[in-house]
Amino acid sequence: MSKKQEIRATDLLREYGEAIRGSWALIDGRGVRDDMGIISDLVEESENCYLDSEVVFGTREMLGICPYGKGHWIEFCDDHCNE
């Protein structure tokens, strides 16, 4: 991540929602439930304050969403994601 970003847990929730909206092909309800648990725990633990970039990157990786915050599944990343 080249730019300093101010990201909160709720921002990650929105990115996850965009990914779900964009492609349902690989969605399993149990996986979504588990992912929502990860996000809700992060909201609670961080009190929705800005997150360290390592936490943001790690959470995006766990959720399988674009590491650059573009709101799609990591499988759909391309060269334009880091722009």
Tell me the pLDDT tens digit for each residue of 38-69: 999 999 999 989 999 999 999 999 999 999 99
Count of domains for the chain: 1
Residue 56 in domain: yes
Residue 62 in domain: yes
Residue 24 in domain: yes
Residue 21 in domain: yes
Residue 70 in domain: yes
Residue 2 in domain: no
For the entire predicted model, the pTM comes to: 0.85
Q: Residue 70 has what DSSP assignment? A: -
Distance in angstroms (rounded) separating the CA atoms of residues 38 and 25: 21
Residue 25 in domain: yes
Domain that holds residue 69: 9-82
Residue 4 in domain: no
- In this prediction, residue 1 carries a pLDDT of 42
